[in-house]
Amino acid sequence: MNANNTHTILRILDANLNRLQEGIRVVEDIFRYIYDNKEITYMLKQMRHKAILHYTDLLLQARDVGRDIAKESIDTEVERLDLAAILHANFHRICESARVLEECLKLDECKKFGKSQTFKILRYEAYNLHVIATKILIDSTP
């Protein structure tokens, strides 16, 4: 792969790592501050601390927000109807980003940044937590 393609892949890694960590933080804060759920909060915090890549300085150098052709929000991203919608949107964000990282880290030139398997495990943890979170949401609805 040439240098330009490598730079592009680094942008993908950077964007998806940020998206993954941000999604986890949104859900974590909801369970921490709204539901006061110590168990789920702790599980999410552990996930967030596992969601790391090596050589983040290289990823940061590849970041180019000005060239991002999809940085504008679409209608479905501008408004959330309720807390459940926020949770579901962020769980989907977590799973999608973990999948992108999982796939990209299979490339030879990306293996030094982290292990694909780490993000596969995180993705399945997120699937499981999404089910648990949904049950908590349903149980807490009057």
Residue 111 confidence (pLDDT): 95
Q: In this structure, what DSSP letter does residue 52 have?
A: -
Q: Which residues contact 20 (CB under 8 A, 6 or more apart)?
A: 51, 93, 94, 97, 98, 101, 119, 122
Q: How far apart are CA 18 and CA 55, in angstroms?
A: 14
The residue type at 20: L
pTM of the model: 0.87
Q: Which residues contact 117 (CB under 8 A, 6 or more apart)?
A: 102
- Residues in the chain with pLDDT < 50? none
**First-residue to last-residue Cα distance in the chain:** 56
What's the domain range around 57?
3-140
Q: How far apart are CA 50 and CA 103, in angstroms?
A: 17
Q: Where are the alpha helices (DSSP H) in 56-82?
A: 56-62, 75-78
Cβ neighbours of 87 (radius 10 Å): 20
Longest CA span, the chain: 57
Q: How far apart are CA 109 and CA 132, in angstroms?
A: 36
Residue 142 confidence (pLDDT): 53
Residue 139 confidence (pLDDT): 85
Residue 81 confidence (pLDDT): 77
Total domain count for the chain? Answer: 1
Are 14 and 48 in contact, with CB atoms under 8 Å apart? no
